């Protein structure tokens, strides 16, 4: 009986041993060499496009930095976060995929995990702040007109402090960063939830403060904005040209913010679902070949935002030029009359 109990205890302990503490090399790739090469090329393309696109957004914004609205300052901060992910993080994973193993050891793994979580959290909290700004501007004009540029900079300081706190908490012994199951990338140690109640509390705190709560605020803000816009479109049509132009600009910024948030969440939610399943589901229930797909999709999020900026700007420029043409026609008709 004692032998059977000891065997049962040993087997239960082995169930809670994370993949990176098992006998095999945690940094060796569990994918085929061909799959690693494809992933390496994919990340190289994503990294180049993201670096060029976000660098261009920051460069163009720096030319008119004194004229940037609070919402535009936030979108520049989002570009900074995306550029940080591309420049600081992606080279590590690209080199590792082409090398068919993680080549930077535990120190590099912890740095890569920290940088990815820091910039990712910064991006999501920035989008949360943007959604609140849009909500106040559209739904509560008295508060919206109160928000000025210096409030945006105060908000930026809070965002960076928030991201720094949650990304650095694992180094205080509460959590950790560990290699992904496929070996060539590193992330937050989701597998701590399998080991202890303290690990579960840490993972649940991360999920709530760095994913669920910001996402709930974003969804609430944009649902309220959509309802407000539907009810106020007819009212704006009766205002003068100046108020209409201001409304068009605010709606343009709102569309940009909504598309950015949608792109970010679409890219990251599959990864979050797989991570939560790895944390609270049955150990090793997520196939390794399947777990790499959400990771690669999440890494592409930094590429979408510059494309969204350009598409909305082109549409806005076309609408603005069309509006100018109609105004010029009206003025010429008046002159002829």
pLDDT in tens, 83-101: 999 998 899 999 999 999 9
Mean pLDDT of the residues in the chain: 80
Is pLDDT above 70 for 14? no
What's the pLDDT at 12? 43
Choose among 11, 30, 4: nearest CA to 183: 30
pLDDT single digits (tens) 60-86: 888 888 888 887 888 889 999 999 999
Confidence of residue 337 (pLDDT cuts 50, 70, 90): very low
Domain range list for the chain: 27-315
Is pLDDT above 80 for 24? no
- CA dist., res. 182 & res. 25, Å (int): 11
What's the pLDDT at 6? 42
What's the pLDDT at 101? 93
Is pLDDT above 80 for 263? yes
Is pLDDT above 90 for 186? yes
Please give the share of the chain, as a percent, with pLDDT higher than 70.
Answer: 76
Class level of CATH domain 27-315? mainly alpha
The pTM score is 0.82
Report how far apart, in Å, the C-alpha atoms of 308 and of each of 81, 120, 283 are: 16, 18, 39
* Torsions phi, psi for 187 (to 5 deg): -155, -175
Is pLDDT above 90 for 121? yes
- CA dist., res. 180 & res. 78, Å (int): 26
Spatial contact of 121 and 212, defined as CB atoms under 8 Å apart:
no
Task: Please enumerate in sequence order all residues whose Cβ is within 8 A of that of 292, keeping only pairs 6 or more positions apart, or say none.
Answer: 31, 35, 39, 180, 182
Is pLDDT above 60 for 105? yes
SS3 percent helix, strand, coil of the chain, rounded to 5, is 80, 0, 15
Strand partners, 178: 187
Confidence of residue 324 (pLDDT cuts 50, 70, 90): very low
pLDDT single digits (tens) 190-214: 888 887 888 889 999 999 999 999 9
């Amino acid at each position: 009986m004692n032998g059977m109990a000891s065997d049962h205890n040993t087997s239960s302990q082995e169930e809670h041993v994370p993949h990176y503490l098992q006998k095999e090399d945690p940094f060796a790739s569990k994918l085929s060499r061909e799959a690693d090469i494809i992933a390496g090329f994919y990340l190289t393309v994503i990294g180049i496009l993201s670096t060029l696109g976000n660098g261009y957004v920051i460069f163009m914004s720096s030319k008119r930095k004194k004229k940037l609205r609070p919402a535009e300052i936030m979108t520049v901060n989002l570009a900074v976060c995306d550029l940080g992910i591309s420049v600081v993080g992606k080279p590590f994973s690209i080199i590792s995929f082409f090398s068919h193993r993680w080549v930077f050891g535990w120190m590099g793994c912890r740095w890569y995990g920290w940088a990815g979580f820091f910039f990712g959290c910064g991006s999501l909290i920035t989008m949360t702040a943007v959604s609140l700004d849009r909500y106040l501007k559209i739904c509560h004009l008295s508060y919206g007109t109160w928000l000025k540029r210096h409030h945006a900079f105060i908000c930026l300081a809070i965002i960076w402090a928030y991201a720094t706190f949650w990304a650095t908490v694992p180094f205080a012994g509460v959590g950790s960063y560990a290699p992904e199951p496929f070996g060539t990338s590193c992330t937050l140690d989701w597998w701590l939830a399998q080991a202890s109640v303290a690990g579960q509390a840490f993972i649940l705190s991360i999920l709530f403060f760095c994913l669920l709560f910001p996402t709930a605020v974003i969804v609430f803000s944009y649902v309220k904005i959509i309802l407000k816009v539907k009810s106020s479109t007819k009212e704006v049509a009766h205002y003068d040209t100046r108020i209409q132009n201001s409304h068009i600009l605010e709606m343009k910024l709102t569309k940009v913010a909504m598309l950015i948030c949608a792109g970010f969440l679409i890219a990251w939610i599959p990864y979050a679902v797989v991570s939560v399943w790895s944390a609270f589901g049955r150990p090793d229930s997520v196939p390794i070949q399947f777990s790499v797909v959400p990771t690669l999709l999440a890494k592409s999020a930094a590429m979408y935002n510059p494309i969204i900026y350009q598409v909305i700007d082109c549409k806005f420029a076309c609408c603005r030029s069309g509006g100018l043409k109609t105004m010029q026609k009206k003025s010429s008709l008046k002159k002829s009359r």
